[in-house]
């Protein structure tokens, strides 16, 4: 019985091959694909979908990682900027004060260019304020009267005493360049004000919803520089 079944199978094989040879190639490919899909239960297609999904997740992770890295870099850069000393020209500040002590007649012109807040150094600012006070009282400006004015305001020791005033006078390159020195001080002061405006803008941009108001206030602040 087994031999008869084997012979029958062997006889049917050439017939099946002959029937397959009559099927067009494109139809044959379709049959094979359907057969493969039915036998594998769509495993291959599901595998492909899983791979594509994994690739999409990887791309999203890469984008998030880049965003995090960029934000951290920006944070580090901002911290580096904040840690830096604000713009200032201390030599020019001393040259301005020395010019006044060497040539007091230049002070009326200087005060049209500078104001106390233009000085970055606290000691230099205090000295300039005392010079203004002497002028308002119509008193001459020299090291002796300036030291006395600083003593009365309790600032003489803070600025370095009378010895410091003498050093400022002796260290002045030449009083004839007082306008140039003053402009150097003013330029650095404007930079510091720009930084303050930028910090204000950054904070307001995060906290406020009205962009037009921020822009209007920003223009006013820049115009006031």
Report the chain's C-alpha Rg in angstroms. Answer: 42
Q: Identify whether the C-beta of residue 145 lies closer than 8 Å to the C-beta of residue 134.
A: yes
What fold characterizes domain 90-223? DNAb Helicase; Chain A (1.10.860)
pLDDT confidence of residue 35: 62
For the residues 60-78, what does the mean pLDDT come to? 62
Banded model confidence at residue 7, pLDDT cuts 50, 70, 90: low
Buried b / exposed e across 33-64, counting CB within 10 Å, b at 16+? eeeeeeeeeeeeeeeeeeeeeeeeeeeeeeee
Residue 34 confidence (pLDDT) above 70: no
Residue 75 confidence (pLDDT) above 60: no
CA distances in angstroms from 132 to 76, 99, 110, 141, 145, listed in the order given: 42, 14, 10, 9, 12
Locate the domains of the chain by residue range.
Answer: 2-83, 90-223
Residue 11 confidence (pLDDT) above 70: no
55: Cα within 13 Å, side-chain hemisphere: 6
Banded model confidence at residue 213, pLDDT cuts 50, 70, 90: confident
pLDDT confidence of residue 21: 57
Q: Across the chain, what does the average pLDDT equal?
A: 80
pLDDT confidence of residue 199: 85
Top mean pLDDT of 5-9, 42-46, 71-75, 158-162 is at: 158-162
Query: Measured between alpha carbons, how far is 202 from 212 in angstroms, rounded to an integer?
Result: 15
How many of the other CB atoms lie within 10 Å of CB of 140? 11
């Amino acid at each position: 019985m087994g031999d008869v079944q084997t012979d029958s199978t062997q006889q049917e094989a050439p017939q099946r091959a002959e029937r397959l040879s009559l099927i067009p190639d494109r139809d044959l490919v379709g049959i094979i694909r359907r057969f493969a899909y039915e036998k594998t239960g769509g495993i291959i297609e599901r595998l492909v979908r899983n791979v594509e999904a994994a690739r999409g997740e990887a791309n999203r992770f890469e984008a998030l990682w880049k965003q995090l890295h960029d934000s951290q870099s920006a944070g580090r850069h901002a911290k580096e900027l904040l840690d830096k000393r604000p713009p200032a020209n201390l030599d020019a500040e001393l040259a301005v004060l020395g010019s006044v002590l060497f040539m007091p007649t230049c002070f009326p012109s200087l005060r049209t260019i500078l104001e106390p807040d233009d000085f970055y150094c606290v000691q230099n600012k205090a000295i300039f304020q005392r010079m203004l006070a002497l002028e308002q009282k119509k008193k001459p400006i020299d090291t002796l009267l300036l030291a006395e004015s600083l003593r009365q305001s309790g600032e003489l020791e803070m600025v370095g005493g009378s010895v410091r005033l003498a050093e400022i006078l002796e260290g002045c390159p030449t009083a004839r360049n007082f306008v140039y020195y003053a402009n150097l001080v003013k330029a650095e002061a404007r930079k510091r004000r720009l930084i303050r405006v930028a910090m204000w803008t950054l904070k307001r941009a995060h906290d406020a919803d009205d962009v037009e108001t921020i822009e209007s206030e920003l223009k006013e602040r820049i115009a006031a520089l």
